[in-house]
Structure 1
Amino acid sequence: MKIAAVQAIPYAIPYRTPLHFASGAVHVADHVLIKITTDDGVVGWADAPPRPYTYGETQKSIVAVVQDVFAPELIGLSVFDREKAQAVMARTIHNECAKGAVDIAMWDCMGQILGQPVSTLLGGYTDHMRVSHMLGFKPAQELLDLALGFREQYGITTFKLKTGRHPVGLDVEAARVLREGLGPEVEIYMDANRGWSANQAAEVLRQIAELGLTFLEEPDDAREVLGRRRLVTQSAIPITADESAPNLGEAAREILTGGANMLAVKTARTGFTESAKVVAFAEAAGVDVYVGNQIDTQVGTVASVVFGAALAHTSRRAGELSNFLDMADDLLAEPLQIRDGAIAVPTVPGAGTQIDPEKLEKYRVD
């Protein structure tokens, strides 16, 4: 049950439909697949998505930190020594996505060794997660047509609208068109990816007040401290911390100092171990959470489903689980299915992230 090898395998899969948003755009999933092998041959998998414009990590930096810094210290530990592994990785600052993927791969190994689904080990609250789909920068009518298509084909009734454009009227128009076209029963929320100033965000909130949107994620840069806190105090809907809360400590800081009153939890950056701590903090503080998306592949999406369905607090809201649909291909051996607006939790031992070796060989770039 000891870790015998830790590998970081870079790969690249193009997107059929690139996603554009305030802090950048994604055209290719140039991710890193993390593979942990135990001394008795059990293999755990996880996906690490670089986001250089958000967290500073690149594909090359993830490979380097995992293979050169983490692996020498992790080899020889039991895969059950999660806190020891967390302590080893915590000595290196930042690198959240690399750390999160290593943690998930360890949990995958643990589940297989114990013969249990990881979602059961984490809490086993429910057997599915409702799906929210992210809509990127497009003209308002195109966004509505996309949303109607996803509702018709997959039963999805929750949508995140990527905003943060200039002028802000483009985003207000998109929100109005979506609300009018989808009706009041569909949940819509916004994510500005820090694209506005606090004053611009306040004006958007004023203009969309009657649309019934449920929350606004990262309206401005959290370092705009006074403006951000004014937004949180005055907004009728929750202000969510995402990029400004990439780990437990910063999530606690944003909530306790009034920088946000809701949290996005992403397994791609805090794994399962630290994500559970973030959720426990949020629940104790009376703060809502939802499972966010790092523009994940199916491998990353499985991790989000496994974690989100395990806990009551994360399963209350739809998770952002569908943007893999825009990819040209994927690495998962058993493709995910969205039915009636939800994804079922894997019932096999481990995390359910078995990799197709032929596809990995096709897309790896090392």
Structure 2
Amino acid sequence: MKITRIETIPFAIPYRKALRFASGEVGTAEHVLVRVHTEDGITGTAEAPPRPFTYGETQASIIAVIDTVFAPQILGESALRREAIWARLTRTIGNPTAKAALDMALWDVIGQSLGVSVTELLGGFTDRMRVAHMVGFAPATEMVAEAEKLRAEYGITAFKVKVGRRPYRDDVEATRALREALGEDVELYIDGNRGWTAAESARALRELEDVGLTFAEELCPADDVLARRWLAEHSSIPLYADESATRPAEVTRELLAGAAHGVSVKTARTGFTQSQRIVHQCEGLGVDVVMGNQIDGQIGSLCSAAFGAAFQTTARRPAELSNFLDMTDDLLAEPLRIENGTVRVRPAVGLGIEIDDNKLKHYRQDT
């Protein structure tokens, strides 16, 4: 089980349309395929999606930190020593998606070596996840058309609405239009990506009180400490922390400060090891969680589904697993499927990731 080699392969796959939101825009999935090889011939696989406007990482920086900093620290180590490996990775600050990809690839190795799925290793609560889809900035009519299409084709009945525009009334109009078009049976929640001030958030939430939102996510910046606390105290809609709660310590800070009522868990930035800690932390405090999305491709979405299905807490509500549908292609040999609004965990050992070598050859950026 000793780690003998680590691969970092940059690849780029265009989106059919860019996903636009308050903190940025993504038109091409410029990700990094991460592979961990062991002396037993097992290869663990994961995907690192850089988001420079959120974490400061780029495709090049992820490759550089794994190849020059992380790999030398863990080559020759047993893949079973996850805690020792994680301790070495965390000696380097930042670089969350690089660390997360390595961690998930290690869990894939362990699952394969034991002949069980990662979902079973983590807890094995269920074999499927309900799906929520993120709807990006666009005119209200286009946002409604996108949601109606996804409901009709894939049975998706939960939608995250990207907000944070100025004036905020554009977002209020779009959210209200989605509710009117989709009806009361569809779950809606909003995500501001830090785009509003607390005052703007409060006004928007008041205007949306009758829309029936499940919650509102990361409406204003984490640095607005007192303003976030004030907003949480005065909001009738639960507020969830996302970019402000990327590590267990940040989760503690946001919850105990009274700045959030729930937490978004993203395996793309906390892997399986740290995500598991965050879930247990939230369970202990009686706080709800949602499985978020880093605009992942199918590999990342598969990883998120595998983790979310492992725990009752994460399987309780729909997970953001569908934005790969906007990509023109992907690397998986067997595409991830959404049927009747759900994604099934693959009945395979490890994560069940099999890469199409021809597609990888076509989309990789280093040859």
**TM more than 0.5:** yes
Q: 1:247 deviation in Å?
A: 1.3
Moved more, 249-258 or 69-78: 249-258
User: Any idea what SS the aligned residue of 1:253 has?
Assistant: helix
Which residue in 1 is equivalent to 2:39? 39
Matched, 1:146 2:171: no
Which residue in 2 is equivalent to 1:19? 19
Q: 1:246 deviation in Å?
A: 1.1
Which residue in 2 is equivalent to 1:88? 88
User: Any idea what SS the aligned residue of 1:12 has?
Assistant: strand
Which residue in 2 is equivalent to 1:113? 113
User: Any idea what SS the aligned residue of 1:113 has?
Assistant: helix
Which amino acid counterpart does residue 45 of structure 1 have in structure 2?
T
Which residue in 2 is equivalent to 1:77? 77
Which residue in 1 is equivalent to 2:355? 355
Q: What is the CA deviation profile of residues 267-304 of structure 1, one whole-angstrom value per residue up to 9, with x for unaligned ones? A: 00000011000000001011100100000000000000
Tell me if structure 2 keeps the 8 A contact 1:129–1:318.
yes
Q: 1:256 deviation in Å?
A: 1.3
Matched, 1:180 2:189: no
Tell me if structure 2 keeps the 8 A contact 1:5–1:37.
yes
Distance 1:251 1:24 in 2: 24
Which amino acid counterpart does residue 359 of structure 2 have in structure 1?
K
Tell me if structure 2 keeps the 8 A contact 1:163–1:192.
yes
Q: 1:250 deviation in Å?
A: 1.0
Tell me if structure 2 keeps the 8 A contact 1:19–1:137.
yes
Distance 2:40 2:79 in 1: 11
Gaps of 5+ in 2: none
Distance 2:347 2:119 in 1: 9
Q: What is the CA deviation profile of residues 206-257 of structure 1, one whole-angstrom value per residue up to 9, with x for unaligned ones? A: 1001110010000101211111101111111211110111111111111111
Query: Any residues of structure 2 matched to 1:249-268 within 5 Å, and which?
Result: 249-268=249-268
Tell me if structure 2 keeps the 8 A contact 1:96–1:247.
no
Distance 1:108 1:101 in 2: 11
User: Any idea what SS the aligned residue of 2:309 has?
Assistant: helix
Query: Any residues of structure 2 matched to 1:1-366 within 5 Å, and which?
Result: 1-366=1-366
List 4+ stretches of structure 1 deviating above 4 A. Answer: none
Q: 1:164 deviation in Å?
A: 0.3
User: Any idea what SS the aligned residue of 1:5 has?
Assistant: strand
Q: 1:258 deviation in Å?
A: 1.5
User: Any idea what SS the aligned residue of 2:133 has?
Assistant: strand
Distance 2:242 2:154 in 1: 26
Q: 1:357 deviation in Å?
A: 1.1
User: Any idea what SS the aligned residue of 1:31 has?
Assistant: strand
Moved more, 356-365 or 317-326: 356-365
Q: How many matched pairs?
A: 366
Tell me if structure 2 keeps the 8 A contact 1:48–1:98.
yes
User: Any idea what SS the aligned residue of 2:343 has?
Assistant: strand
Q: 1:3 deviation in Å?
A: 0.5
Q: 1:353 deviation in Å?
A: 1.5
Q: 1:262 deviation in Å?
A: 0.6
User: Any idea what SS the aligned residue of 2:51 has?
Assistant: coil
Distance 2:153 2:282 in 1: 34
Which amino acid counterpart does residue 227 of structure 2 have in structure 1?
G
With the length of structure 2 as denominator, give the TM-score of the two structures: 0.99
